[in-house]
Copies of this chain bind each other. A is one copy, B any other.
């Protein structure tokens, strides 16, 4: 009995959904899987295309919101009116997003990447301004595009 319980909780712990206290559904599993297969970030539209007609648009919106709330994914700002999302590799939770990495937007392949091992630099702000959170967006040419086409 104690042995069985241990196995169950081990399985639970592996599943990010159960880990975050979410019930496991087809759409959540599928969307999570898309993020895990992906090197870069995904927009709602990307997911809609990749998931095909499997799920309703509304379900995708609600799933993304749930994932954001639970600290499974984080949003990446952009200047082209398409919010991007990517997996949280840091330990995030409800109301507890804490990302210190840089986001890189490739102007060639148009993909957006989390540079997980980068660190957002210290900033010097004018007097009176108090920083809570910093987002650094870098546009340029990504590693793959640089090496692929010389």
- A residues engaging B (CB < 8 A)? 75-83, 102, 104, 107, 115, 117-119, 121-144, 146-147
Contacts and interface: CB of A to CB of B under 8 A. Distances in A.
A85 B127 CA distance: 24
Instruction: Name the residue in A75, A81, A119, A129 with the highest tally of chain B Cβ atoms < 10 Å from its Cβ.
Output: A129
Contact of A115 (B126, B143, B144): B126
Contacts of A142: 128-129
A111 B75 CA distance: 20
A84 B140 CA distance: 22
A6 to B, nearest CB: 39
Contact of A138 (B82, B83, B123, B138): B123
A147 to B, nearest CB: 6
A75 B79 contact: yes
A140 B135 contact: no
Contacts of A124: 118-119, 121
Contact of A77 (B115, B125, B137, B143): B137
Given A121-B123, A137-B137, 16 more contacts: A75-B79, A81-B82, A81-B83, A115-B126, A115-B129, A118-B123, A121-B122, A128-B142, A128-B146, A129-B141, A129-B142, A130-B140, A130-B141, A131-B138, A133-B140, A135-B137
A91 to B, nearest CB: 20
Instruction: Name the residue in A76, A79, A124, A147 with the highest tally of chain B Cβ atoms < 10 Å from its Cβ.
Output: A79
